[in-house]
Chains A and B, each alone.
Chain A
Amino acid sequence: MALIGPSGAGKSTLLNVIAGFFPPVSGRVLWDGQDITNLPPAQRKCGILFQDNNLFPHFTAKRNVGLGIRPDLRLSAEDHQEVARALDRVGLTGLGGRKPAQLSGGQQVRVALARVLVQRKPLVLLDEPFAALGPALKAEMLDLVQALMTETGATLLMVSHDPLDAQRIAPETILVADGRASAPCDTKTLLATPPEALRRYLGT
């Protein structure tokens, strides 16, 4: 599921409210019918990737992933195995000992995705974490995300200002414009017959 709309429309705000970083001015956040409005971020059922600063620069890739299992980094032997498996899965076999500064931008994103994997949350939020990547790398990351979501069965909610991202991996899209989020629609239908607000944003 994608959230698209012009900048300043409130896409990231919506994501942050769902993730629990700030409370909604009014209204509630429900998960499976349960009110989670006042739960701290870590107790919610979602993992999140921010635009930047997803990794601690002073930890190796392994430890950055390990934080997803135990935030105090007291990892057992099984935990270490799980971290290694997650790094293998995102294509970073053998690079677990490197620090973020020794990894490329794409590899850093992969480390963050490996951490989302080990967190095993049913909902994954992406706040434009690929915005700084080139088009080809971004497409590669989107495909990787899609594959991971299919394997784990988690729901994806991603913010983007690029309708092509939505087209690529999100079957459904929520349009956020003029301070309102419309109900989710089928992405293809939405982009084929854009409403007035979306046309203004797309410039068509």
Chain B
Amino acid sequence: MAARAVAINRAGGGGPGLIAAAFVAAVILGPVAAVLWRAGGGGWPGPADWAALRFTLTQATLSALISVALAIPAARALARRRFAGRRILITALGAPFILPVIVAVLGLLAVFGRSGALNTVLYAAGLPTMQIYGLHGVVLAHVFFNLPLATRIILQGWQSIPAERFRLTASLGMNAGQVMRHLEWPMLRAVIPGALMVIFAICLSSFAVALTLGGGPSATTVELAIYQAFRFDFDLGRAAVLACIQLSIVTVAAILALRVAQSGGFGAGLDRSLRRFDAETPALRLLDAGVLLLVALFLLTPMAAIVMRGGAALLDLPGAVWRAAGISLAVAGASMALTLALALPMALAALKRPMIEAVGLLGIAASPLVIGVGLFVLINPWTNPMLLALPVTALVNAVMALPFALRVMTPQLIDINSEFGNLCDSLGMSPRDRLRLVVLPRLRRQLGFAAGLAAALSIGDLGVIALFADPEIATLPLQILRLMGAYRMADAAGAGLLLLVLSLSVFWLLDQGGRADSDA
């Protein structure tokens, strides 16, 4: 096997990959060093910092527990039922990954907010209304984003149980409870810790959700505290201390998540279904139908609310919104190009030096706010950082999308290498010919998918841009935030719908572009 891995050494070469990896490492680690240096080493965290840390850990723990607890019955229902629309529902469970956070927040506000649908019903029934801001709002939004992810991860666990085992339990006449005890519980025990850790780690870096639904001393995440220390107080020392806290908790959580997680829920083949004789009782049918209905309602109602509220406002949106949309598209295009320009050489070089992929994965643990503050400190002596708000946003977005692009491309490159490496060698193809004639054409689908992910993630991102932007310039998510701040909720909903349409169609177009006319 070792001999096969050698083959692609002649494709692409290691040089560009090493340069790209060094660049990524510099972008992620350099700003951290800059923050530390500028802060003169930082100080000891104060009470507000500890409060932010406590809140971050609390909300992440609650979000992970609730998401997974709800995902178990949902995944079980998907695993043992066959119905029309099942495949669409499973595909839709992947959508929150590219759903802009600000759009989801708008949708949740429309349903659960002060004058939202739920409170209208509660008020009419004479019941106390609910308040969305604070811990439960933050957790609600995180569950909205991570329940689908948890469901996919756990569903994958269910489908890893061989169908023959279920046939065996059926022939032994086991009921649903016995199947749970003998087959499903052991699987859940293996899968759940990973799902919990992944979601916990994701929620640690929550910024946009905390910015919109949290806030105040009792509901501030570390990321949000960095933003406030920087933007309101320009207290770089405190920002540096917080940056260190954030970096250490995310790194620890990411390492733990990688240790215990078995897969990212990305896997294909989730639409396999098999007949489950133990679950064919009316009560269990009703239970599963109810669970799926509730999950679908919870996930789809906020989206429907955005479409309904935004649809009316879409046609006469203020010019600033359209301008912001144009800026967002440009930033997303640049970020996508940069992601691919970094990912391709890195993925090629990672075939012989796996460490290179590890550098790319740093992006998962990196905090955009920390990078943003660091870049600000680095740029400030030379020029006004606000002038570079958009390039910096594109750069940080690209680094954040890089781990996903690498995960998508690397397995296919390994396949290309093992299938065609020897043939290329025997034909005497030069590295350039190999890239042009073999690697790029055979990697098209993965390139398209990675490009779609990178563009959609960038177009919906509300992170670094909030740090840098001056009032003159805004991406679409930031523009929506400003409209919300000005209580122009109708315009915000219209802009939210526009953002939703843009990010989904950009992803769809690029992904289809990679699929079109590609031969198996």
Contact = CB atoms under 8 A, between A and B. Distances in A.
Q: Do A and B come from one complex?
A: yes
A40 interface: yes
B377 interface: no
Interface in A5-28: 16, 19-22
B442 to A, nearest CB: 6
B182 to A, nearest CB: 39
Given A58-B441, A71-B433, A42 B427 contact: yes
B427 A67 contact: yes
Given A41-B425, A42-B425, A99-B519, A56 B438 contact: yes
A48 interface: yes
Interface size bracket, B side = 20 to 34
A102 to B, nearest CB: 9
Interface in A44-66: 47-48, 50, 53-54, 56-59
Interface in B410-435: 419-420, 422-430, 432-433
Contact of B519 (A41, A43, A58, A73): A58
Give the secondary structure class of A's interface.
Answer: loop
Nearest to A23: B3
Contact of A56 (B420, B428, B430, B432): B420
A16 B423 CA distance: 12
A136 interface: no
A35 interface: no
Contacts of B520: 57, 101
Nearest to A102: B519
Interface in B434-480: 437-438, 441-442
B178 interface: no
Interface size bracket, A side = 20 to 34
Most chain-B CB neighbours within 10 Å: which of A22, A50, A54, A67? Answer: A67
B469 to A, nearest CB: 44
Given A58-B518, A101-B520, A53 B419 contact: yes
B507 to A, nearest CB: 24
Contacts of B427: 42, 67-68, 71
A67 B423 CA distance: 10
B135 to A, nearest CB: 53
Nearest to B444: A58
B519 A57 contact: yes
Contacts of A22: 2-3
B417 to A, nearest CB: 11
Nearest to A52: B419
A21 to B, nearest CB: 6
B423 A73 contact: no
Contact of B430 (A16, A54, A72): A72
A73 B422 contact: no
Given A42-B426, A50-B422, A53-B423, 18 more contacts: A21-B425, A40-B425, A40-B428, A42-B428, A47-B426, A53-B419, A54-B423, A56-B420, A56-B437, A56-B438, A56-B442, A58-B442, A67-B429, A68-B427, A71-B428, A71-B430, A73-B433, A73-B437
Interface of B: 2-3, 7, 419-420, 422-430, 432-433, 437-438, 441-442, 518-520
19 contacts: A19-B426, A40-B428, A41-B422, A41-B426, A41-B428, A42-B425, A43-B428, A47-B426, A50-B422, A54-B423, A56-B437, A57-B519, A57-B520, A67-B437, A71-B433, A72-B430, A72-B433, A72-B437, A99-B519
